[in-house]
Amino acid sequence: MSALTVIAGGTVIDGTGAPARSANVVVHDGRIADIGPDRPEDAALIDATGLTVTPGFIDIHSHSDYTLLVDPRASSAIHQGVTTEVVGNCGFGCFPLRDAALARNAIYGVSDAVPLDWSGPGEYLDRLEAARPAVNVLSLVPNGQLRLHAIGLADRPADRDELATMARLLEEGLEAGAWGYSTGLEYGAEIGAPEAEITALARIAARSGALYATHTRRRDEGAAEAVAEALRTARAADVRLQISQLLPRSGRAEGERCLDLVDEARAAGQDVAFDMHTRRFGLTYLYTMIPPDVLARGPDGIARALADGDERRRMKAHRSIFSAGGDWTRVVLLDNPVRPDLARRTLAEIAAEDGRDPFEVAFDILADTLDDLPRVMAIINCYEEAEQERVFAHPLSMPGSDATALGPDGPLAEATFHGAYTWAAWFYRFMVRERRALTPEAAIRRLSGLPASRLGLDDRGTLAPGMRADIAVFDAERFTETATTFAPNQLATGMVHVLVDGTPTLRDGQPTSAGTVLRRHRTAAPF
């Protein structure tokens, strides 16, 4: 393809929220040269007649840190128009690493496919760049890895020296080009981190104008208090705040309280916004019903506990994602090799059939699974469509995959991460075409210009002369997800061409080439 390309005859939506218009987009040497009526004769042609031309989508909440090393094609993402993924979210990520075995506790999709043989942020970003991902990637510094490096899995605050180590590691990450700092305070590696510790570290991110993104401490009962904590932390640290997957799993009223807190903070002048995954359910391993102290006893100890009536009674009191509300009609077993006969049914239904307690049914399944507990997963239906519509229509919200990029063929063909294949396609189909809750212009801004501005990514996210040519060209009537809850690994349809830095990564619906790692330059920070 020549250095001069024209995307001709399409409807251009520029990502700022401005009205759509008919125009040709001229791309020269990786940047947008012109948007208007002209069509240079010597330019290579991409015919966009009948199609919509927008900025490439920015996945503000990705967990592809590791999977892009395994399969850099990112097929699930580019078939949804994604040109940039933000990794390092939820305190999970691939740096800094000290003990590879320990580090696995805070890396999504980790396997033996690529050994964890790097340590610092620069080395990891170099590795990622060498893998030549099909999308651009930028990273936050994940607090889970900072804690694992400095403290291990201990459930307690950092002492002075440990905090100093974490501060130094965070500095190094930001120096190496990370765009912010993230926490996942609900997870094992970070659960012992008190508000003061996070505030001290968030101040370091604030000093360089970087973003603070947080998966809050509680996402079921107590979720609104956890959002309040995030807002307090960001105010005390004077840092820009991105709340990850704002809606809690504990029902509509708590969700309303979370939204109200964000609105109040914004009205008071705080720089806050949020993202949300597009799944209607939470998803986890069934074994998370077992308390950590029992899990620590190993397979034999767990077997003894599951065989003991008193222990079972005690385990029922353990608070897990499954205990929220005690409503077993919301809990659905996914396909699994242990009890395939029970898959895709609710625990309430299975228990009712035999007149048993759902807890007892779940414990029996776990007793059959001891040699490999992660084999059985369940989803917990949490969100109604009306709630999704309300949260995604909120002016401060943006969708994110909250998943790893995957591919239906190749080394990740058997991997599942709900949301990977569906999120942007679902968002456009549901919010624009089905509910008409957002105009195409508003929806595209949530997928491009808005996340770019949250990140301080000032040369991507909108279409204008001089901007990097990250572009999605799609059929706005047909762009949709095809994956379902029980058949999750299927590519979205309707995306026709995707360009990253002016180079096609999807041409006529077929994948082609590559993106790069985006490193933030601290001195150039506009904040």
Which part of the chain contacts Zn ion (CB under 5 A), choosing from 44-52, 223-231, 348-356, 399-407?
Answer: 399-407
The nearest distance, CB 184 to Zn ion, in angstroms, is: 7
Does 402 help bind Zn ion (rule: CB under 5 A)? yes
Q: What are the CA-CA distances from residue 266 to residues 241, 242, 395 (Å)?
A: 11, 12, 11
Tell me, residue by residue from 347 to 386, as one string, x for binding to Zn ion by CB under 5 A and - for no binding. ----------------------------------------
Size of the site for Zn ion (CB under 5 A): 3
The nearest distance, CB 129 to Zn ion, in angstroms, is: 23
The nearest distance, CB 146 to Zn ion, in angstroms, is: 17
Which part of the chain contacts Zn ion (CB under 5 A), choosing from 71-79, 394-402, 459-467, 517-525?
Answer: 394-402
Which residues, at least 6 apart from 205, have a Cβ–Cβ distance to it below 8 Å? 141, 170, 174, 180, 181, 211, 212, 237, 239
Residue 320 CA to residue 331 CA, distance in Å, equals: 12
Of 212 and 479, nearer to Zn ion (C-beta) is 212
The nearest distance, CB 114 to Zn ion, in angstroms, is: 21
Of 189 and 366, nearer to Zn ion (C-beta) is 189
Q: In 199-345, at which residue ranges do the beta strands (DSSP E only) sit?
A: 211-215, 240-243, 272-276, 281-285, 331-333
Of 89 and 136, nearer to Zn ion (C-beta) is 89
Of 162 and 220, nearer to Zn ion (C-beta) is 220
Q: In 29-73, at which residue ranges do the beta strands (DSSP E only) sit?
A: 31-36, 44-47, 52-55, 57-59
Which residues, at least 6 apart from 84, have a Cβ–Cβ distance to it below 8 Å? 56, 57, 58, 59, 135, 136, 137, 138, 457, 460, 470, 515, 518
The residue of the chain with the least Cβ separation from Zn ion equals: 90
The nearest distance, CB 245 to Zn ion, in angstroms, is: 7
Which tokens is 216 given?
């809050």
Inter-residue contact 79 to 36 (CB < 8 Å): no
Bridge-based pairing of strands 272-276 and 240-243 is: parallel
Inter-residue contact 241 to 205 (CB < 8 Å): no
Of 108 and 428, nearer to Zn ion (C-beta) is 108
Phi, psi torsion values for 274, nearest 5 degrees: -150, 160
Of 229 and 275, nearer to Zn ion (C-beta) is 275
Residue 393 CA to residue 156 CA, distance in Å, equals: 39
Residues 82-101 that bind Zn ion (CB under 5 A): 89-90
CB atoms closer than 10 angstroms to residue 88: 30
Helix (H, G, I), strand (E, B) or coil at 281: strand
Which part of the chain contacts Zn ion (CB under 5 A), choosing from 66-74, 99-107, 396-404, 432-440?
Answer: 396-404
Helix (H, G, I), strand (E, B) or coil at 102: helix
Of 65 and 402, nearer to Zn ion (C-beta) is 402
Partnered with residue 339 across adjacent β-strands are none
Of 145 and 512, nearer to Zn ion (C-beta) is 145
Which tokens is 219 given?
């996402």
Of 103 and 306, nearer to Zn ion (C-beta) is 103
The nearest distance, CB 108 to Zn ion, in angstroms, is: 8
The nearest distance, CB 470 to Zn ion, in angstroms, is: 23
Which part of the chain contacts Zn ion (CB under 5 A), choosing from 19-27, 81-89, 288-296, 330-338?
Answer: 81-89
The nearest distance, CB 87 to Zn ion, in angstroms, is: 10
Tell me, residue by residue from 456 to 495, as one string, x for binding to Zn ion by CB under 5 A and - for no binding. ----------------------------------------
The nearest distance, CB 182 to Zn ion, in angstroms, is: 9
Of 243 and 498, nearer to Zn ion (C-beta) is 243
Question: Helices (DSSP H) in 238-277: which residue ranges?
Answer: 252-267
Place of tokens 């799944």: 279
Which tokens is 394 given?
């909120």
Residues 15-74 that bind Zn ion (CB under 5 A): none
What's the start-to-end Cα distance of the chain, in Å? 38
Which tokens is 462 given?
């909108």
The nearest distance, CB 219 to Zn ion, in angstroms, is: 11
CA R_g for the chain:
23
Phi-psi map region of 105: left, alpha, beta (phi>0 left; psi -120 to 50 alpha): alpha
Does 190 help bind Zn ion (rule: CB under 5 A)? no
The nearest distance, CB 105 to Zn ion, in angstroms, is: 15
Of 90 and 202, nearer to Zn ion (C-beta) is 90
Residue ranges binding Zn ion (CB under 5 A): 89-90, 402
